[in-house]
Structure formats: C-alpha cells, structure tokens
Amino acid sequence: MSGPNTSYDPVEVAALEPEAIEQAVTAALAAVAAAASLEELKSLRGAHQGDKSPLALANREIGALPPSAKAEAGKRVGQARGRVASAFTARQGELEVERDNRILVEEALDVTVPVTRRRSGARHPISLVTQRVEDIFVAMGWEIAEGPEVEAEWLNFDALNLGQDHPARQMQDTFFVEPEGSGLVLRTHTSPVQIRTMLREDPPIYVLCPGKVFRTDDLDATHTPVFHQFEGLVVDEGITMAHLKGSLDAFVSRLFGEGIVTRLRPSYFPFTEPSAEIDCQCWICGGTNPSCRTCGGTGWIEVGGCGMVNRRVLAAAGITDEKYTGFAFGLGIERSLMLRHGVGDMHDIVEGDVRFSAQFGMEI
Amino acid sequence: MYAPVEWLRDLVQVDPAATGAEIAAHLVRVGLEEEDLHGGDVVGPLVVGRVLERTPEEQKNGKTINWCQVDVGDANGTGEPQGIVCGAHNFEPGDLVAVILPGGVLGGDFTITARKTYGHLSAGMICSARELGLGDDHDGIIVLTDWFAGQEDALAQLTPGTDLIPLMGLDEETVEVNVTPDRGYCFSMRGIAREYALSTGVPFTDPGAADARPVAAANDGGHAVRLSDGAPIDGRDGCDRYVARIVRGVDVNAASPTWMQSRLTASGMRPISLAVDVTNYVMLLLGQPLHAFDLDRLNGAIEVRRARAGETLTTLDDVQRTLHPEDLLITDNGETVLAIAGVMGGESSEVTETTTNVLIEAAHFDPTTVARSARRHRLATEASKRFERGVDPAVTAVAAQLAVDLLVEHGGGTVDDGVTDVGTPAHPVPFAFDTTLPTRLVGLEYPRAEVVATLEAVGCTVTDSDPTGNEVTVLPATWRPDLVDGPDLVEEVARVRGYDEIPSAVPQHQGHGLTHGQLVRRAASTTLAQHGLTEVLSYPFIGEELFDRLGYTADDERRRTVRLANPLQDEAPLMRTSLLDTLLDTLRRNVSRGARDVALFEAGLVTRGDNPTAAPTPRLNGRPDDATLDAILDSVPAQPNHIAFAAAGEVVSAGVGVIPRAYDTYDVIGWSREVGRVLGAELTVTAATLAPWHPGRCARIALPDGTLVGYAGELHPKVVAALDLPARTVVGELDLDVLTAATGAPTQARLLSTYPAANTDIALVVDESVPAAEVEAAVRSGAGGDLESLALFDIYRGDQVGEGRKSLAYRLTFRSSEKTLKTSQVTALRDDAVAAAKKATGATLRG
Ligand SMILES: [Zn+2]
C-alpha cells in the first residue's frame, strides 16, 4: 500500500506533532529544491503553501487547541511556514536568473552577418586632396580665393606677361571662346584668380587659388584636358625667395610627411622672375631606392613651378609700390593625388566611376 | 637641344672624369632641364675586322646572304678568322669593317651571341651605322676606310682587332636638355658651353666672339641686299641685319668630314651634303640659323620685305603656301619669293647637286615676325625655333665666316671678296642696377663683388657708375635679350650661386579662414556624401542637341552659354549650363559598367549666358584704366556654383534584414531640403513644371521668401529614353550661391520649454489637387505659436472620403513655454488649426 503523495494530496498534520510538522517542511524543501523551472515551482505552491497544504491545515488546527498549547504550536507552525516560504523565494530568484540568462543566450545574433541598410557615399578624392591642401594653407594664415573658369583672356594671359606672341597662348594649348576676338578663354591656370585678388585687395595678400583649369590635351594615362591646380600668391613687404622656399617646404612636409622638403631649380615663366621648378623629395624612398617607381631613383619628384612675381604682373594688377614683393607657385592636384595615393591611370580620376571615389570615403 | 659631350669638351674644360649624368647635373643646376642621356650604350668587344672571304649564298626565300671569314686579330682570343653571316653587300674581301663579337651589347640592350643562322654558326655581327647608333643609314655596313676618310690619325689605327669604341666615339654621351624660352642662346653649343662654365667655374672661350676667327670686313662688293620692311611689327624691323657671303666653285656634294657628321648625328641631325651639313653645323655651334642659296638661280638683289596679298611659295617640304602680309620674305629682286624669312626656304633657289656657286645668308630676324609666320604656316623649324627666342645679333658675321671657311676647306672653291653686311641691329640697352637687390629679393647674402663677377661671367658689361653707393650700370650681353631689368639679373646671381643655398623661411600672416561660401560648398558636398551619394567629376563640355533631348524650349535661358572655337570634340563645343548636363552622362557610364544602383553628385561651376560684348585685351602696360578693367570683368559670363545629384535603382538592395526600396522623387527633394537644413535654411517645396523633369513629379525648391534655389524630381520619361538612362531616374540641382547669400547669419537658439508636450491627431479631407504643403501651412498658422511640431503620418484615398478627395492625417504636438497645456486648451488650438485649414483649403475634419 502506498502512502499519500505529499506533493499533491492534502495530508493532515497535527499541529501538536512536531515530527509531523518537520516532515512537512522537509518534504516542501525537497520539492522546492527539485523544481527545475519557474513553472514547476509555481505548481508546487498549492501543495506546500496553499490552503490545503499540511502546514496550512496545521495552522488552522491551532485555533482548536487549548490556550496552554496554542502559543507553542503557533510558534512551531509559524516557523515552519516561514522556512518553506523563504525556500520558495530563494528558489524563485535562482530560477529567474537562470531564465534571464537563457533568454540572453537565445537572443544572441550573428553580428558578423553583413546588413546594409544605407548606401555609403563618398567625396571625390580630387575634392578631398583640394580640401586638405586648403586646410594646410589656411592653418598658415592664408585665405582661399576662387574665380570663374570661363575667363577673360587679358586676365589669363596679358596680365601675366604672356603677350600675344607667347607660345603658351597658342591654339594647341588653350580653349578659345567663339567668336574670334571674344577675349574669353577657358582659364589655362588659376593665375587669373591671383590677378583678380590683387586688383580687389591691397597687400598684404596671402592666398591659395585652387580650381579647375583647361588645356587642349588629349586624355591619356597621365594627362587630362580638364584638371585641377592650386596656385599660391603672397605679396607683402620684404617677401623673398626664402619665404617661397619656406612656404613650399612647410606645405610638402604637411602633405607628404614630416621632414620632406623641396628643391628649387632655375627655370623660366613669364609671370615670375626669378623662376624655379619645384622638386619634392621622394617620400617613398627618400632617394635610397634606385628603382623607386615614384621618383625613378632620383630621390626627387617634379611637382610644379614657382618664382618671384614679375613686376610687370604686379603693375598690371595695380601694385606699383616697390616696397612690395611677392612670390607665386603652382602645383597640380591630380599629380599630388596620383603620387600620394598611387593612382596609376588618369582615366580613373576623370571618368566618374563610383568605384573610384568609393575607395577614398570622406577623408584622405 | 642635344649637347654631345665630346663637342662640349672641345669648347670648355670639362673634367675628363665627368660622366654624362654629372655634366647634365651641372647644366640643370643653372637652369637647363635634363631631358635624356644618349649614347655610351654600345659595349664591346667592337673591333676592326678585315674581310678575308665573302661567299654569297642564295636562300630559299630569295634573299642572298654572305658567309664571311673575318680577321679580327686577337680580339676573339684565338687569332683565327671569325665566321659571320652578313646580309649587306656593300663590301668586298679586303675591306675593313666594324665587327661586334659575342658578348658585345648594342643599343637597346641587344646582346650579341654566337648563333646558328642560315646553316652557319655566326659568331658576331658586321655593323651598320644605324646599329651602332651613329646615324640612320642601314643600307649597308660601315666600311671603315670610307667612314674615316680624310682622318689620317684614325686611318692609321685601323688594324684587325683594334677597339673601335673610342675610335668611333661610341664611348661618348650626349646630354639632351630642354631650353626654356628665355634662354634662346642655349639652342647652341656656344650657349651650353657657357652655361657649363658658369655652373662649374671652368674657363670658357667663346667660339662666337668677334675675335674668335678672322672675319672679313664688310664692303660694297658683295651681293646686293635691300632691307625694305614696309610694315614692321611693334615698330621693329623684320630684318635688322643681313650678311651675305658667296663661295664659288665649291663641290656641294662632297662628303662632310666624319667628325662633323658624327657631331650632327649626335645632335639628332642627319648628315646630308656638305652645304646642308655646314649650315646645320654652324647653327648648332653658334645658334645662328643660315640659309644657302644657289647663286646661279638668283637674278638680282636680295630684297627682304613683307608678303603681298596672294603671293605663294612652295617650301622645301613641297607644300605650296599662301603667304600672309605679315610674313617676312626673302625675295629675288623683290619679285620671286625665295624663302619665308627665318622659317623655311623655297624650292626654286635651293642648293642642288648641280650647284657650284653658293650664297650664304646669315641674318637677324625679328622674333615676333618669325614666331607668327612659323605658327601661321605650322612650320616649327630649327631656324624658326631659334629666331623666335632671339638670336645673337652680334654673331651674324662670325657665323657666315665660319660657314664659308668650312665650305672651302671641305668642298674647295673660293670665297668672294665682296662681303655684304647691311642693317642696324638694335643693341641691348644699359640700365641701372642696385647690387643689393639680389640679397633683398632672394633672402640670401650676395656680396657686391660676387654680384658683379656673376653678371660679367654671364656676359654683361658692368660699369661702376656710383662707386660709393650700390648702383652699377649693366649692359646685357647681345645674346641675352631676356635681361631687361633688375629681377632678371637677380635670377642670374641666384642661379650661378645655386638655388640650393636659398634658405627656408615661413612668412607669418593672420588670415580669416574659409569664407562662408567656401564652408557652404563643403557642407553641401559632405551632406550629400553622408546621405549615401558618391561625388564624381565630369568634363563640362556639351553639344547643342543635348538641350533638345532635355526638352528645353527654344527660348530656354539654359541654352545661353559660350561656345568654344576649338573644342575637344566637334560635337561638344558648348559649356554646360547645368551640372546635370554632364552628370547624367556619368550616371549612364556607371550603369553601363554594371552599377545597378547609383546615386551621384557633382559640385562645380556652370555657365549662364554668353558674352554679348567682347572682352578687351589691352597690351600689358600697368593696370588698365577703370573703364577697360570693368569691360574686361563684365564680359565674363556668370558662373554660379551649383550642386547636382542623380540617382537610379534602389536606395538599398534586398538582403538579410533589409527591405529594398527604389530611389524616388522624395529622395531628391529630401536631399535638397537636407542641404538647406544643414546650412540653416528651411527650404520650401512647390509643384513645378520644367524640363527635363516629369511634369507631375517636379519640385521647385526655394527660400522661404520664394527665391529659387533649384529643382528636384523624376526625369521626364522622354528624357530618360533620349539619354538612355535607367527608368525612373531622379535628379536635382541647386544653386549654392543663392544658399550662400541667404545663410550665414548666426542661427539664434530658442529657449527649450520643459513643460509637458501634448499630442493630438487630426485627419483633414481636401480635394486631390490641394498640395500637402498648403494644408500644412494653414494648419501651422492656425495652430499658433505653441505648435511644436507637425507630422503628416498618413494619406488616405478611398470610399470613405469620396472620389477626387484625400485625407491627410497629421499628428500635432503642442507645448507651451509658459505652462502645462490643459486638454481643453489643446482642443481649442486644434480646432483653430482645423478652422484655418478649412478656410485656406476647404478642408473638412474627417469624422
Ligand atoms: Zn623614390
């Protein structure tokens, strides 16, 4: 014959029988400890804490006891119920923590799954290099000047001491605007912006003139008929070639790396005198690699032209006071981009293929 | 300009150990640009060989080769004859030839090996001039006795096995330099040698100096020459000096000496005949172009004059040229045209094989005149190149003397006693020079003595006009027309000391940073990139028919632009008037390269309007007067800064956790508003109809005051078809200059209310034709100042609102800055908003 199922069946426990009380408590604690889930724990509550649970019945019996026995029985049953209740609470807490932990595990995502909810944009690297160059000069106290691309021939050539018969003014280089004698061209350099600045402002002038320029070259791996330049112009009292060299050195060290300097070679430009070609130290090999692809092993890379502004040019822009001298230089953005970022083919820069810009993102 | 090192050594004391590269570096230091290094690339053994046997053998392909036994002395290590196959036939047994043996290397890194060919083991090669890089001649191999004809020293050394590399000058290098336009004198060995001397400090003896050789004095007995320029350019006579010398009975067909030929070859010129070679040689040495006429084909005096209308000349390149009144001509007695002065001669007076009497012309022509003629006739010749940059007017007679001396020396004949030398060349003008200017302009100390010494080394005459002060008077050298003022001399002083010594000093200045417009343009581009668009650049050239394809009406303002006289492509001669003109092309290119989903933008200038009045181009002489300057500036068409965008395909593509969505009109309107928003401008949107947009899907984007900023929407289906774009391409373009002008004032912050917000929703039923923006504006005005925000969250069309009507559901959020709004107050504000909407748009509250 089997005994009662203490978990479910109401078992009368006499309030005055300590053994019976203890037995009910033991049974309850064992059942609570064995509960594997919050649901199971909840289902045990009726049997051990409910109205028909042994301890509740025992409690009910206390009222019928003689007064002399009431106090002791009450204390005994009360303690027993307290032990069972705290066992339930403790187990409830344990099981809740287990459940919460399980849910976090179950909710785990594979964060390596690639999910793209927004297309990524990018700036064109020509713009990014231009901005970087601008920022370098702005940090040196210069300002940025701009001007039109369809430009007056006088500003593009004559004012720069490039007379009617100068070879640079010939058909093979310049886009002319119809009709003949319109006096307009597509600017071949950003120098007209220098002239416009000097016409507008009195010295001291410290400006960088970045922008799009045009030459009638065919597009190939290293040439494009539409390209970008930045020219610098400083006109102030006591400006020397040493200031020119210093500004260029400061610039290349910020764009290409600390310690990189320039080298000047005598040259000729109608708008400057004296004039120089600008070579930049090879920042890849520093001249130590005879087969360097960037500098051809010479340690130097030709990057532009410069010089002291020709007095005729200053005069054209209304600066006649001889206390003012100035320097100017011009470098190519495309060339800087190609050299700094290893762009191998000009086509990639000009064709507008999104894959090209996408490589660079927003910062260069 | 090619500078053979061997020739340079003849003119200036070049360090015997100096390599071509070192010599080039010295020239670069003072301003010549190194182009290339040639020569020195043939590696021996290259030796004298004597042909012992020559056996012609006919091959199956019809070609005959010669199987030769050649005595190369001990050069092959055995002393036995060397068996060599040779394809040339211009030699006989007994001839001395140039043999390169296995192990030798010819130019272009071609290493000679013993190899089986035509059934023989050919151990080496008998060389032609071309194979040795000594000329173009490859009709036959070099027969050394001919090659060295007249050179007794060399002939005496021609025994089998002798090393030919030094004997033939193959160890000599040639430096090729670029000559800048101001250094015309460097188009001569005379000039290159002077520059080398300047750079290295070695002594230099000028081969063009008046006393370099005895020069016959001018007299009246020479060929008559008349200088009669009736139309000088800029007041300069087309010809200001003309020397004519005559040699009679000369053998013009005689071979020029080998040394001269090899110098010409090394200089990139082909030896032709004595007369031609001598004129070229003198030009290369002294920079003075010469012309040789057949004296017997001249009938009278030489007259130098401008061309007359309709005159023609068949030049030596066999092209008949119609002459221009600005062309300066050499004529026979003023009638027959003989040459375009300083550019090219004509066929009628050219020296031919039958010529025996030669007239040598050495003249000084005006650079501008020659430059214009050369350009006009597209004839850039060795002569025009030099005259354009300025030829030394003092070297004329010396050059003519050297030419006639060389002709007689190598071709016989006699020089006429009559010497013509007419004209008065302009002399350099002396000017005052402050010897402290180099220091002040360069920023490096140049002592006075150094300044004077440098200027004298350059060829200037320096007179100490002010022994106590700093001023000297400088008379520039006749070959330096570029030296006209102080800074020109500063460059001489600086380059001779070396630009490397110039110190580095950063000038200090305080600037204002970027302008508002510059910041606006950066912010606009950054915003679009952050919204997933990719920036591209496109060429701004378009064709007129693009405007038709875009659907522009005939009088559309956007058709007005400038046209290029010489466009890259004839079909694209116009400057774009919108960035979209060319951005759409870029979009198509990306699609054709496989990009399905593309969103692009471009920022840049567009041209608006043409130039009704021509811009003046006054000759440079200081600042033009205000009226002229204004005319120049005003003639430039308006070129506003725009930003444009175009998108096709999907914003995001289907993928894990992604709902795909195509780009649509609201994207481009959104980008437009976002560009405005980041700049602090609340842009308004109204419906518009404008090409190239879809008439029902085009938004006019404007400032709150109505000023147009741009348009955005979907392209018209016809435009999509005409431009071969993806269906439903959406585009927009904004004028950033308008946004720049409208923004920039510091945004003023509102105090943030901490009272609770109250939301209430309304649904307003209006006619389909009523734009949402009008309803919204009315609701806003009715709701008053406590309306914090308003959001349209649904549009319903259907039976419940009736045909032709729509229901717009808004969520209104109210918040007062002074109190907590009660429900009754919110309801009252809501009722006011509904009433305002009803008044403005006929809206009714949906029950
Ligand atoms: Zn390198």
- Torsion over CA: B616, B622, B623, B625 (sign): negative
B649 → chain A, closest CA residue: A119
Give the pLDDT band (50/70/90) at residue B467: confident
- Listing from the earlier edge strand, what are the strands of the sheet with B534-535? B534-535, B598-605, B641-648, B730-735, B708-715, B693-702, B684-687
Average pLDDT over residues B617-621: 89
Contact criterion met (CB below 8 Å) for B420 and B304: no
Q: How many CB atoms lie within 10 A of CB B747?
A: 9
Q: A38-49 vs A54-62: helix axis angle to the nearest 10? A: 30
Give the pLDDT band (50/70/90) at residue B146: confident
> Cα separation of B709 and B779, whole Å?
25
B692 upstream amide cis, omega within 30 of 0:
yes
Average pLDDT over residues B364-372: 95
Contacts with A22 (C-beta within 8 Å, 6 or more apart), sequence order? A80
Q: Which of B388, B513, B615 sits opposite A152 (nearest CB)?
A: B615
Chain A, residues 231-250, CB within 8 A of chain B, namely 234, 236, 238-243, 245-247, 249-250
Residue A9, pLDDT > 80, answer no
Q: Residues of B with CB below 8 A from A299's CB?
A: none
Q: Which of A234, A276, A315 sits opposite B622 (nearest CB)?
A: A315
Q: CA gyration radius for chain A?
A: 45
Question: What average pLDDT is seen over chain B?
Answer: 93
At residue B12, what is the residue type? V
Q: What is the pLDDT of residues A98-142, one digit of tens each?
A: 999 999 999 998 888 888 888 889 999 999 999 999 999 999 999
Question: Which one has a higher pLDDT value, B79 or B843?
Answer: B843
Average pLDDT over residues A20-49: 90
Q: Which ipTM was obtained for this model?
A: 0.86
Domains of chain A by residue range: 10-106, 125-358
Domains of chain B are: 2-39+173-200 (3.30.56.10), 46-167 (2.40.50.140), 225-422 (3.50.40.10), 431-501 (3.30.56.10), 516-615+625-742 (3.30.930.10), 758-845 (3.30.70.380)
pLDDT value at residue A170: 67
Helix count (H) and strand count (E) of chain B? 23, 42
Give the pLDDT band (50/70/90) at residue B489: very high
pLDDT value at residue A5: 53
Average pLDDT over residues B430-452: 96
By percentage, how much of chain B surpasses pLDDT 90? 78
Question: Which one has a higher pLDDT value, B284 or B146?
Answer: B284
H or E element at residue A72: helix A67-106
Give the pLDDT band (50/70/90) at residue B135: low
Question: CATH homologous superfamily of domain A125-358?
Answer: Bira Bifunctional Protein; Domain 2 (3.30.930.10)
Q: Which of A117, A152, A349 sits opposite B632 (nearest CB)?
A: A152
Chain A, residues 159-178, CB within 8 A of chain B, namely 159, 161, 163-167, 170-171, 175-178
Average pLDDT over residues B377-392: 94
Contact between A266 and B589 using a beta-carbon 8 Å cutoff: no
> Cα separation of B845 and B779, whole Å?
12
What distance in angstroms lies between residue A277's CA and the mean position of ligand 1's atoms?
Answer: 18
Read off the DSSP letter of residue B209: S
pLDDT value at residue A1: 41
pLDDT value at residue B206: 94
Residue A308, pLDDT > 90, answer yes
Burial class (CB in 10 A: 0-12, 13-18, 19+), B409: exposed
pLDDT value at residue A69: 78
Which stretches does DSSP call E strand in B442-587? Answer: 461-463, 471-475, 534-535, 541-542, 574-575
By percentage, how much of chain B surpasses pLDDT 70? 99
Residue B688, pLDDT > 80, answer yes
Residue B219, pLDDT > 70, answer yes
Question: Which one has a higher pLDDT value, B33 or A191?
Answer: A191
pLDDT value at residue B397: 97
Contact between A123 and B529 using a beta-carbon 8 Å cutoff: yes
pLDDT value at residue A11: 57
Tokens 């007794």 sit at which residue? B152
A192 upstream amide cis, omega within 30 of 0:
no
Half-sphere exposure of B767 (CA within 13 A, CB side): 6
Give the pLDDT band (50/70/90) at residue B485: very high
Residue A88, CA distances (Å) to A13, A19, A100, B433 in order: 20, 22, 18, 109
Read off the DSSP letter of residue B352: -
> Cα separation of B558 and B560, whole Å?
5
Contact between A225 and B28 using a beta-carbon 8 Å cutoff: no
Contact criterion met (CB below 8 Å) for B590 and A353: yes
B629 touches chain A (CB under 8 A): yes
B484 → chain A, closest CA residue: A273
Contact between B487 and A234 using a beta-carbon 8 Å cutoff: no
Chain A, residues 91-150, CB within 8 A of chain B, namely 113-124, 126-127, 131, 134, 138, 140-144, 146, 148-150
Backbone angles phi, psi at B280, to 5 degrees: -65, -40
Contact between A239 and B507 using a beta-carbon 8 Å cutoff: yes
Q: Which of B502, B511, B604 sits opposite A241 (nearest CB)?
A: B502
Residue B116, CA distances (Å) to A205, B113, B412 in order: 74, 10, 49
Residue B384, pLDDT > 50, answer yes
pLDDT value at residue A2: 46
> Cα separation of B387 and B342, whole Å?
7
Give whichever of A279-288, B192-201, B647-656 has the largest mean pLDDT.
Answer: B192-201
pLDDT value at residue B820: 96
A8 touches chain B (CB under 8 A): no
